[in-house]
Amino acid sequence: MARIKLGVLVSGGGSNLQAIMDACDSKQLDAEVVFVGSDNPDAKGLDRAAKASIPSFVTDYDRIRRNYLENQGAVMLPEDFDLEDILEKQCLFPEQETGQRVQSFFRIKALAERDLLENMKPFSFDLLVLAGFMRILSPYFIDRVNRDPEKPRIMNIHPALLPSFPGLDGYADTFDYGCKVGGCTVHFVDYGEDSGPIVGQKSFDIKPEDTLETVRSKGLELEWALFPECIRLFSENRLILEQRGHKRVVRVLPPV
């Protein structure tokens, strides 16, 4: 089986990126990272990419958003952007909520995601890995990466045991709720927020003496092991999507 090519998107320190690169270097993963992209020009993950001589780029979401708000009449949306299609597919807002705020949200998303796609265009990749990428992807982007709906190829890691505690800060939500067990989840990305089919999970006990900082530390250590494991399953073609009722789930095939 040929070595798979990974694209990685980051927003911050890039510790999961480093874990993936280390797994590639140690041959734990038969894969190579072909690009690293970020929405944050100051992301430390970009420095990690530079040290490894991996091409990188930045799509500045904040600048694109400001430009849209300041020059709405002059901003050209992507030619293939279909707002009606996006509103029908999206799962982030209630179906009946289609006003100007929601429309602007998806127009800005499409502008940023067009730039993201253009930056990714020179690179051939098999799997796009979100390694601490702090932007929700819209149907506009997802449909252009997932060319075959039955073979998703955007994978994300989330700092909680989904479906509990989706959203921005899963470890803090887990800790604040008083849970006795925390963990992390790798899942395929769909149109919702952290709602895609789960690929794998790891958990840890939360002790009475634990703080939010120790919970984060325990979780990160598991993330660095879990993400390469799930990417390896993808590279070995062992992840199969199945429909169970109204949900799509991942079945992991045994090794050949």
Question: Where does a domain end: 72, 101, 116?
Answer: 116
DSSP 209: T
Verify that 107 and 54 share a domain, yes or no: no
Catalytic residue among 158, 187, 202, 216: 158
Predicted confidence at residue 85, as pLDDT, reads 96
The answer on 134 and 80 residing in a single domain is: no
Residues 159 and 204 in one domain: yes
User: Which segments in the chain show pLDDT lower than 50?
Assistant: none
pLDDT at 63: 95
Are residues 77 and 9 part of one domain?
no
Give the per-residue pLDDT at 1: 57
What phi, psi does 2 have (nearest 5°)? Answer: -70, 150
Same domain, 109 and 164: no
- CA of 220: how far to CAs of 89, 96, 179, in Å? 32, 38, 17
The answer on 123 and 75 residing in a single domain is no
Q: In 3D, which of 242, 252, 236, 92 has the Cα closest to residue 186?
A: 252
Answer yes or no: do 194 and 229 share one domain: yes
Q: List all residues 6 or more positions away from 24 whose beta carbon is below 8 Å from its beta carbon.
A: 6, 31, 32, 33
Q: Among 2, 221, 191, 213, which Cα is nearest to 92's?
A: 191
CB 182 within 8 A of CB 246: no
| pLDDT score recorded for residue 232 | 97
How many domains are there within the chain?
Answer: 2
67 CB burial (10 A radius; 0-12, 13-18, 19+): middle
Are 18 and 92 in a shared domain?
A: no
Whether 171 and 185 share a structural domain = yes
Q: Are residues 180 and 221 in the same domain?
A: yes
Amino acid 59: pLDDT: 98
Residues 73, 47 share a domain = no
163 and 223 both lie in a single domain:
yes
pLDDT for the residue 90: 95
* Residue 246 annotated in active site: no
How high is the pLDDT of residue 89? 95
Indicate the pTM of the whole model: 0.96
Instruction: Write the CATH number for 128.
Output: 3.40.50.170
Domain that holds residue 83: 63-116
